[in-house]
Structure 1
Amino acid sequence: MFYFLSKTLTFLFMPMGLIAVALLFALLTKNRARQRKALIGATLLLFIGGNGFITNELARWWEVPPTVLPARTSPRVGVVLTGGLMKTSPELQNRLHLSDQADRVGQALLLYKTGQIQKILISGGIGGIIKRKTGDEGHLSRQFLIIGGVRAEDIVLENKSINTYENARFSAPVLRQQFSGYEVVLITSGWHMRRAIGCFEKQAVSVTPFPAAPMASERQYAPNHLLFPSEGALHDSYWILHELVGFATYRIMGYL
């Protein structure tokens, strides 16, 4: 139930969800004053949530920035969290198709090929509210890594988890049993890293963060970036605000 609610109700607190509610209210209400207020609210939400400068500042504040791993003193295992790594619809099963957060698995491949990690644990299975009989992200990511040159015996798959809390909960015993003495390098998107670190530390697993898929960039002062909304900024603001809500919810639930 928690997973279902987190994936559905959260939308209502995001810019596009609030804009949609405001526009529907303006369309349905017969009160002209309320209609005007709803339209003003939707316009403000569009210009604030879609403002590239504001969204970038949020990302610069919240994201764990990219880092470089220090020199290795012990063997390392990279823990890659799934969630937007691979496209898994039935129509795409004849090929591997990377999705918008695929930089996570790409960074794991780079770390492995450069000798900075020696093993890879992929954590995550078939996400989504409705379970489908398709290839899950964990197996598809494993295939991608093997094709990229990672030895099959160096990849461990934990495919029971469906959210960040379960990533940590189900990965922790695997790390203790199979990777005792290994340093754990946690690989996920920068905007998702704070919640992921909190969940793993709650399971008494010390991790070294290695953020992927950075969202933040250098500040831009061009008029189109400062004044006008854009689809890209709306996309980024959705994920940042979604993560802030998720972090707060996990804190309340005791997952962090």
Structure 2
Amino acid sequence: MSTSMYSGVAGMEAEQTKMDVIGNNIANVNTYGYKSQRAVFSDVYYQTLSAATRGTATKGGTNPSTVGVGSTLLGVQTMQKQSSFQSTSSGLDVAINGEGYLQVMDGSGNIFYTKAGMLGYDANTGYLVDMNGNFVLGNQGTTTGDGLQKIKLDNVGSVQAKAASATEDIDGTNFTISAQNASKAGNLSVNVISSDQMPIGQPVEATIANGTVTVTLNANEKFTSLDDLNTKINSALTVANGGKALDCGDLTISTDNA
């Protein structure tokens, strides 16, 4: 009885791991460069109930009697298959057709590999970078110590990064939300919503995920001024960013009707 119970538990644990892998695949369905994974299982060692016997002059031998004790996770494989291509509005975005990865390097010289082809231009250095600010390596540019090269976009000219800004008309009033600094991390998408389900005493909540900032305002709280609103929004953003200020600096909401 104990063996059968163990086999059942082992199978359930292995199946739970498979569900975790599937859930991770679903969560990353819109993640550029992500490769899906699959769980691979193996049977567990067998318990011998009776040993094999040797044949005699009058009868043949017998095979051993064994019973398995469940299954276990053999490993999680990354599926290196070609994904579909998608057009973008950026002239620096690339996709790899077939095998291979983009090779990138951080500021400390560490090498990484990625399939995510959302590339950008570092206005401070002129180099081609990925969304994490790592230098994209290729066959032209400044050679590093190990023979790899950073790609410099000499033909970009005087293009300068600009701080993001957007204006929204609400009931005839133009509200403008703008970033303090230009950010080499790419465009920042900001959503501002209202909720009456937030606890009393928490005027603002912020979340940051995949380049998108979501600011939730407590519909049950009042703000004394735009300055008060901006201060509380940026405090919430600092908390959401692990205690650090955003690369784009403080966000400011202003209105031309103030």
Larger strand fraction of residues: 2
Larger Rg: 2
TM-score category of the 2 structures, normalised to the smaller one: under 0.3
Normalised by the length of structure 2, the TM-score is 0.24
Normalised by the length of structure 1, the TM-score is 0.24
Larger helix fraction of residues: 1
Greater RCO structure (CA 8 Å; 6+ sep): 1
